[in-house]
């Protein structure tokens, strides 16, 4: 199953990732990281397609996407 992992300490809560997810599973969470940013979260990982769009748009390289049949995307 594809997975999108958000690296909490890199996320600045800009929510750009939420604008590109084709299945709309990215949203702001109530979790605040050590820098004081409310980070993004994946609401339903079972819907992730592994498209990699979120990892590509994130300016802080805070998302890694793992897709069994695709190459890992993101930094």
Residues that bind ligand SF4 (CB under 6 A): 4, 6, 11-17, 20-23, 25-26, 39-40, 42, 48-54, 58, 60, 62-63, 65
Interior/surface letters 21-53, b for 16+ CB within 10 angstroms, e for the rest: beeebbeebeeebeeebebbbbeeeeebebbbb
CB of 53 to ligand SF4, least distance (A): 4
Cβ proximity to ligand SF4: between 15 and 31 the closer is: 15
- Shortest CB 50 distance to ligand SF4, Å: 5
Least distance between ligand SF4 and beta carbon 30 (Å):
14
Q: What is residue 65's three-state secondary structure? A: strand
Question: In whole angstroms, what is the distance from residue 8 CA to residue 68 CA?
Answer: 23
């Amino acid at each position: 199953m594809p997975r999108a992992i958000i690296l909490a300490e890199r996320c600045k809560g800009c929510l750009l990732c939420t604008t590109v997810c084709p299945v709309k599973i990215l949203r702001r969470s109530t979790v605040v990281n050590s820098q004081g940013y409310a980070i993004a979260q994946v609401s339903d990982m079972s819907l992730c397609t592994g498209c990699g769009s979120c990892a590509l748009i994130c300016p802080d390289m805070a998302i890694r996407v793992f897709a069994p049949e695709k190459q890992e995307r993101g930094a």
